[in-house]
Amino acid sequence: MTDETKPELGAADIQEIMKLLPHRYPFLLVDKIVEIDGDNSAIGIKNVTASEPHFSGHFPDRPIMPGVLLIEGMAQTAGAICARKEGEGGYLVYFMTIDNARFRKPVVPGDRVEYHVTKQKQRGNIWKFHCDAKVDGVLVAEADIGAMMRKGSE
């Protein structure tokens, strides 16, 4: 492996994530990022707890994490990649597209979701990612997302 191809591995705790993303409880859906390879890929973590507000209605007798929140967690992990490349703060990442979304297995309280996000391409401020959500190494959801970065003041 040469210096040119060496991964730029890093990580982000919740404080760094909160510097990169504008989301806050109850809508901050990434607890930490255990691996960031430059602007190429990242693995984010969400520890699912029974006390999360959406479980009071989805569903009271059998709580299941809404699929749209899995997509949002994947998107937030991707957004952290984008924001980290541009420097902390000042940028917002907007959803543009969600394609090929599939939900394979339910996610329930006690699960630890890993968001595996890989950049497919980037052109200017437009980014495309493939995202997998896994619990215990098993694929529970996947999607291809497109996002656009903008300065917060634009």
Residues known to be catalytic: 58
Run of H or E including 119: strand 112-123
How far is CA 60 from its chain centroid? 26
The burial class, CB within 10 Å (0-12 / 13-18 / 19+), for 106 is middle
At 21, which amino acid appears? L
**CA gap 141, 124 in Å, rounded:** 28
